[in-house]
């Protein structure tokens, strides 16, 4: 079982190398986003040290997008009928979904390593211990989002529906979080939504680690992120076991 | 000739699959013997691939089940997948992966160590004449090359139950003969083979038994010779005429005592009859008297195509409908 888990993770991780140019463009985009947009917007915002607040937030948003990208990969695989092949292999389905979630999560962390390093260099590392904890929190977010992405795409069985739903999800999940602004500035309904949003808690933990302002106790945020990762994996396992089967994919 | 080990490898029990309201596989019952090559014939959309995907646990049955060497596909799919391998009709290669990467990963998943996997992948790629192309990405390969890689997966896995879904589609003639020999070798080494195909010659030369599936049900089952023997009359006569055949002509031909069955499709007439050499002049005379010009005459023994036509009214090779 462990052997299969490693093989599934390794395969997904290796796919990252196929996106070299795409990654370079994303890293460039990230640098410009902080250097141009971040700098300009921080002059308009009354919050102290907003440029650093923004840099930490945009990293979390980038990590979320990278983890969600797993869904597009799977959707493309499905259009080539590759899902049928994976489902026919002598691999336990639970191992398959866990492997893909972990592989997707690790891939996302690796894909966003240069933006992470850039953020750390830009903001500065004050405490290695808190940074280590934050990295665990960010990993939990990455694994959880990858699991969520796999579950969504496997249930939708459609490339177009996946594009639309993930686009809509991206708009809401990032904006209804503290990635770009603190909860104290949000209308009450938005603030409530942000309070249960895993991106909020990933951003909070990361800012805590970087010595920036945060609104939620880091331990609480870590618990939320752990619960998110476990629940997404469990839902994925449940659905894979009962609902997922090959064939029937549409554009 | 059934050269099986005596036991039942696959027992399909009332297996049913709905896609929405469409019934793709209709309470199918079938037994496939250990170490036989079972030819699974049927036109596109007959339920062939759906059945095979259920046997590999890729699809879930709507009702009924199947047992692979006694293991229920619904209750213990993990154990089933350890015994079953499939080469899909459409090659399942990820577009950026090379043949070597694809097969190496497949070998590792099937339990080979890293060193063993390297060796077996090299051997199989060489056997399939794909070693030179091992570093090309899937999107750079021709259809035939992709198909070879897909089939090569099964020769790496060497499962107890090997399922080939149209293995020689897109493969050139020499490649076909090579694959047929390899399939026989795989059976001789102990695997049970299910060979789903539209190529009747392939089914005829390879299969110990043949099952014809049509509209989700088994329409005929037996050895190729047994099935051919069920065709009425010992001969098949096919005539191409210069115009569509009318009902009166059909009736007149059918009244000839040696003619057992007559089927027509536009300007083509197919007769199942006895003593074709004696009756042929009489048939030709009747046709000419009715103003038909005979453009082609073909006499032969029944083939699996005739078997298929006899049981379903559909010509399998081109899926033409005879009346």
Chain-wide mean pLDDT for chain A? 89
Mutate: best of B76, B89, B107, B109, partner A, most A CBs <10 A: B109
Q: What is the DSSP string of A75-86?
A: HHHHHTTHHHHH
The winner for highest mean pLDDT among A67-81, A193-207, B159-173 is A193-207
Q: Sketch out chain B's domains with CATH numbers.
A: 8-93+141-228 (3.40.50.300), 232-301 (3.30.70.1560)
| A69: confidence class by pLDDT, cuts 50, 70, 90 | confident
| A204: confidence class by pLDDT, cuts 50, 70, 90 | very high
Token digits of residue B282 = 């009489």
Is B108 at the interface with chain A, CB within 8 A? yes
Q: What is the pLDDT of residue B26?
A: 94
Q: What is the pLDDT of residue A16?
A: 84
Which chain A residue's Cα is nearest to B77? A92
Residue A3 scores a pLDDT above 70 = yes
The CA angle B235-B48-B188, to the nearest 5 degrees, is 75
The tens digit of pLDDT for each residue in A94-113 reads: 898 889 888 989 999 999 99
Is B81 at the interface with chain A, CB within 8 A? yes
Q: Do B88 and A85 touch (CB under 8 A)?
A: yes
Q: Do B59 and A245 touch (CB under 8 A)?
A: yes
Give contacts of A247 with chain B, Cβ < 8 Å.
53, 58-59
Is B284 at the interface with chain A, CB within 8 A? no
Give the gap in angstroms from C-alpha B92 to the nearest C-alpha of chain A: 5
Q: What is the pLDDT of residue B231?
A: 77
* % chain A with pLDDT above 70: 96
Q: What is the pLDDT of residue B321?
A: 53
Instruction: Answer yes or no: are the C-beta atoms of B54 and B73 closer than 8 Å.
Output: yes
Residue B306 to residue B295: CA distance in whole angstroms:
21
Residue B60 to residue B16: CA distance in whole angstroms:
9
Instruction: Answer yes or no: are the C-beta atoms of B39 and B187 closer than 8 Å.
Output: no
Is A79 at the interface with chain B, CB within 8 A? no
- Give the residue from B51, B34, B70, B52 showing the smallest Cα distance to B187: B34
- Residue A74: Cβ-neighbour burial (10 angstroms; 0-12, 13-18, 19+): buried
Q: What is the pLDDT of residue A71?
A: 83
Question: Count of residues for chain A?
Answer: 251
Mutate: best of A5, A18, A73, A89, partner B, most B CBs <10 A: A89
Q: What is the pLDDT of residue A182?
A: 92
Q: What is the ipTM of this complex?
A: 0.83
Q: Do B105 and A7 touch (CB under 8 A)?
A: yes
Give the pTM.
0.83
Q: Dump strand ranges (E) for B52-101.
A: 63-68, 71-72, 84-87
Is B57 at the interface with chain A, CB within 8 A? yes
- Which spans in B189-260 are helix H? 200-206, 224-229, 247-254
Residue A62 to residue A138: CA distance in whole angstroms:
11
The series of mean pLDDT values per 10 residues for chain B, 323 residues long, is 67 94 94 96 87 94 96 95 94 89 95 96 94 92 92 95 92 88 94 91 92 91 87 83 91 89 88 85 91 90 80 61 54
Which chain A residue's Cα is nearest to B163? A88
């Amino acid at each position: 079982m462990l052997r299969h888990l490693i093989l599934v993770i390794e395969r997904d991780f290796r796919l990252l190398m196929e996106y070299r140019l795409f990654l370079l463009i994303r890293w460039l985009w990230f640098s410009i986003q902080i250097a141009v947009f971040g700098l300009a917007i921080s002059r308009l915002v009354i919050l102290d040290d907003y440029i650093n607040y923004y840099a930490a937030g945009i990293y979390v948003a980038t990590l979320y997008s990278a983890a969600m990208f797993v869904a597009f990969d799977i959707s493309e695989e499905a259009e080539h009928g590759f899902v049928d092949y994976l489902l026919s292999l002598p691999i336990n389905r639970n191992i398959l979904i866990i492997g893909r979630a972990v592989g997707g999560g690790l891939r996302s962390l690796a894909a966003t390593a240069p933006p992470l390093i850039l953020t750390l260099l830009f903001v500065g590392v004050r405490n290695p211990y808190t940074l280590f904890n934050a990295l665990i929190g960010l990993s939990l977010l990455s694994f959880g989002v990858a699991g969520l992405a796999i579950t969504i795409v496997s249930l939708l069985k459609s490339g177009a529906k996946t594009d639309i739903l993930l686009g809509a999800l991206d708009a809401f999940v990032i904006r209804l979080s503290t990635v770009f602004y603190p909860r104290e500035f949000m209308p009450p309904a938005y603030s409530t939504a942000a309070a249960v949003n895993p991106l909020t808690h990933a951003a909070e933990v990361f800012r805590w680690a970087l010595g920036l302002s945060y609104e939620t106790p880091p331990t609480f945020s870590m618990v939320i992120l752990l619960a998110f990762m476990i629940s997404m994996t469990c839902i994925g396992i449940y659905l894979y076991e009962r609902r997922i089967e090959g064939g029937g994919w549409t554009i | 000739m059934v050269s099986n080990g005596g036991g039942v490898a696959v027992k399909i029990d009332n297996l049913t699959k709905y896609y929405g309201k469409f019934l793709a596989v209709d309470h199918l019952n079938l037994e496939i013997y250990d170490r036989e090559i079972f030819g699974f014939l049927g036109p596109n959309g007959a339920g062939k691939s759906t059945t095979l995907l259920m046997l590999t646990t890729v699809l879930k049955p709507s009702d009924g089940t199947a047992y692979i060497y006694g293991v229920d596909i619904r209750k213990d799919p993990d154990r089933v997948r350890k015994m079953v391998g499939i080469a899909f009709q459409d090659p399942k290669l990820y577009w950026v992966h090379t043949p070597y990467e694809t097969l190496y990963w497949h070998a590792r998943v099937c339990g080979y160590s890293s060193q063993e996997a390297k060796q077996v992948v090299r051997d199989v790629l060489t056997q399939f004449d794909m070693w030179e192309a091992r570093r090309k990405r899937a999107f750079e390969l021709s259809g035939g090359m992709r198909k070879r890689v897909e089939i090569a997966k099964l020769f790496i896995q060497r499962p107890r139950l090997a399922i080939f879904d149209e293995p020689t589609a897109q493969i050139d003639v020499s490649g076909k003969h090579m694959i047929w020999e390899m399939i026989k070798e795989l059976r001789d080494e102990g695997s049970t083979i299910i060979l789903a195909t539209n190529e009747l010659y392939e089914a005829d030369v390879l299969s110990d038994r043949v099952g014809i599936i049509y509209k989700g049900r088994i329409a005929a089952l037996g050895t190729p010779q047994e099935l051919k023997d069920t065709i009425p009359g010992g001969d098949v006569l096919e005539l191409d005429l210069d115009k569509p055949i009318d009902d009166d002509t059909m009736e007149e031909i059918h009244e000839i005592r040696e003619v057992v069955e007559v089927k027509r499709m536009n300007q083509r007439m197919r007769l199942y009859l006895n003593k074709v050499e004696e009756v042929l002049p009489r048939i030709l005379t009747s046709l000419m008297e009715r103003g038909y010009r005979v453009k082609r005459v073909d006499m032969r023994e029944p083939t699996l195509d005739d078997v298929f036509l006899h049981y379903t009214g559909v010509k399998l090779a081109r899926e033409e409908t005879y009346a």
